[in-house]
Structure 1
């Protein structure tokens, strides 16, 4: 059994990671700056991190301020790693996104900078493709409009529980540097996924595939966020929708 500190424990990925690691018998310390988790700490200021990291064998770093495009993530990662160094240098695994090194998107640049900090520390970096939940969120947001816009790009969505399984395996055999990228079981077109959502909810709204300007969208169109050679055998988009949309 290991004592594992998990940042972002209440997030989309953090919840299934915590649940899976606990079923494996690990002592998981959920970290949050808000009350309700095992340890209360602030990554941005560093307050509380030394206490949370005391006696830890490994750290899984899932926390990210996605609503503000990663604002504070680099500082938070640096503070976490500095505290980890003071705590005896436990293994740190950082969860990132496929394509952060080639897609000129502001949030991805933040992720890439945080990756480098973790690699300099000697930790591991696991990049995954977009979560099913992320695609679902995009579809829900688009359906607020009279005509549903869907980005004309391919996607390779993956279940968070499949990412959690890879994280658990990585902690069992820690490796420094970048781990093999992790992709979902299928490469699909985003307009088709949005249409699946409309069908599942009984909506008859018109859907339009859109192409956006800019270098970032061109990189997405070119598939820089995909890893078709690293497919998992996990939950498909159709399976996910069947469970989430009733």
Structure 2
């Protein structure tokens, strides 16, 4: 049994990661900024990190400032690594995104810089493809319009619980460096994924595939965010939709 600190433990990925690690028998701590939390800490300011990391064997770093495109992620990662070094250098497993070194997208550049910090520390990085939840959020947003605009790109969505299972393996292995990428079990076009969502809610709205200008979208069109050679055997998009409440 390991004592593990999970950052972002209440987020889309952090929640299933914490639950999976606890189910494996580990002593899991969830880092939270909420007052009164058992392990309160703020990655951006560094407050409370020393106490949260006391006695920890491993850190799974899932936290990311996605609402602001990772604006605070570098500072947060540096603070975490500094506190980890003071706490005896526990192993750190970081979650990144497939293609961050090939797609010139601002959030991806930040992720890549965070990867470099993790590598310099001696931690492990796992790159995963887009989560089912992320694709669903995009479909919900687009589905509010009379015409449903969908990016004309392929996507390889993956279930967060499948990413959590792989992170559980990496926690046990504790091998530094970049692990093999992890992708969903199927590569599909985003318009088809959106169509599946619309069918699920009984909508016959028209889907309009769109292509955007710029180098980032061109890289997505070229499939730089995909890893077909590293498909998981996990949950497919249709199964995810069938088991998830998908409000309009």
Tell me the distance in 2 between the aligned counterparts of 1:110 and 1:153.
23
Tell me what 2:193 maps to: 193
Superposed displacement of residue 37, structure 1: 4.1
Superposed displacement of residue 245, structure 1: 3.8
Matched, 1:204 2:228: no
Tell me what 2:29 maps to: 29
Tell me the distance in 2 between the aligned counterparts of 1:68 and 1:98.
20
Matched, 1:6 2:3: no
CA contact (8 A) 1:155 1:190 kept: yes
CA shift digits 1:108-154 (9 cap, x unpaired): 00100000000000000000000000000000010121110000000
Tell me what 1:129 maps to: 129
Superposed displacement of residue 33, structure 1: 1.2
CA contact (8 A) 1:185 1:232 kept: yes
Tell me what 1:84 maps to: 84
Tell me the distance in 2 between the aligned counterparts of 1:186 and 1:36.
42
Number of aligned positions between the proteins: 246
Tell me what 1:149 maps to: 149
Superposed displacement of residue 180, structure 1: 0.3
Tell me the distance in 2 between the aligned counterparts of 1:72 and 1:234.
32
- Aligned to 1:32, the other structure's residue is in SS state coil
Superposed displacement of residue 186, structure 1: 0.2
Tell me what 1:173 maps to: 173
Superposed displacement of residue 216, structure 1: 0.3
**TM-score normalised over the length of structure 1:** 0.98
Tell me the distance in 2 between the aligned counterparts of 1:35 and 1:100.
34
Tell me the distance in 2 between the aligned counterparts of 1:133 and 1:216.
22
CA contact (8 A) 1:201 1:245 kept: no
- Aligned to 1:95, the other structure's residue is in SS state strand
CA shift digits 1:9-58 (9 cap, x unpaired): 00000111111111111110000112364311110110000000000000
Tell me the distance in 1 between the aligned counterparts of 2:35 and 2:101.
35
Tell me what 1:56 maps to: 56
5+ residue gaps, structure 1, are none
Tell me what 2:44 maps to: 44
**C-alpha RMSD of matched pairs (Å):** 0.9
- Aligned to 1:127, the other structure's residue is in SS state strand
Tell me what 1:236 maps to: 236
CA shift digits 1:178-237 (9 cap, x unpaired): 000000000000000000000000011111000011100000000000000001100000
Tell me the distance in 2 between the aligned counterparts of 1:3 and 1:201.
42
Tell me the distance in 1 between the aligned counterparts of 2:77 and 2:122.
13
- Aligned to 1:55, the other structure's residue is in SS state coil
Tell me the distance in 1 between the aligned counterparts of 2:225 and 2:50.
35
- Aligned to 1:168, the other structure's residue is in SS state helix
